[in-house]
Structure 1
Amino acid sequence: MQLDIDGIEYNTNEYDAYNVYTQNKIRSTVYQGYKAMRNVIMDNKCQGLKLNEVKLKVNADREKIKKYLPFDDEEINSIFIFMEKVFPRL
């Protein structure tokens, strides 16, 4: 997935090749996107949903995500792939 952060394009497939500072920027940006999706699909903000539970709910109601967030199907899938790779215990 291509990310544009502060006018610079980064590729999440090359995540390991970047320095720690750049990795943190990429990780933070993708996590913000994940958190935004999680907040849209959560019924109760006190629920402590795990990554797999969020993924199931998002896949069940992608139209709701697309209605409130500027993500398409490819971006949603890329966010979950990256999150599973970088945050496996989330």
Structure 2
Amino acid sequence: MNSVFEVFQATAARRPDAPFLCVPARAQRDYCPEGAEFSYQWMLDQALAAARGYAEAGYGHGHRIALLLENRPAFFVHYLALNSLGVAIVP
């Protein structure tokens, strides 16, 4: 395995229903104020869908992208999607 996405995908294949990300409840937060749990399979499905969109837009190996996202579930979707295409995520 060579990439973060490949390791993630292998784990998702072994444990699709296991929790990948748990967000505790916090009423003041503008996302998941009631809390949420995201499984490996859910995150994989979201990442693959996002990767299709990025690929259709022309992004792929050798490109560099900066993500301007807070520390929230969407960050992981886009990070994994881009990593699956060989795109470098830069700070």
TM-score range, shorter chain: 0.3 to 0.5
Q: Report the TM-score, using the length of structure 2 for normalisation.
A: 0.33
Between Structure 1 and Structure 2, which shows a larger proportion of helix residues?
A: 1
Between Structure 1 and Structure 2, which shows a larger proportion of strand residues?
A: 2
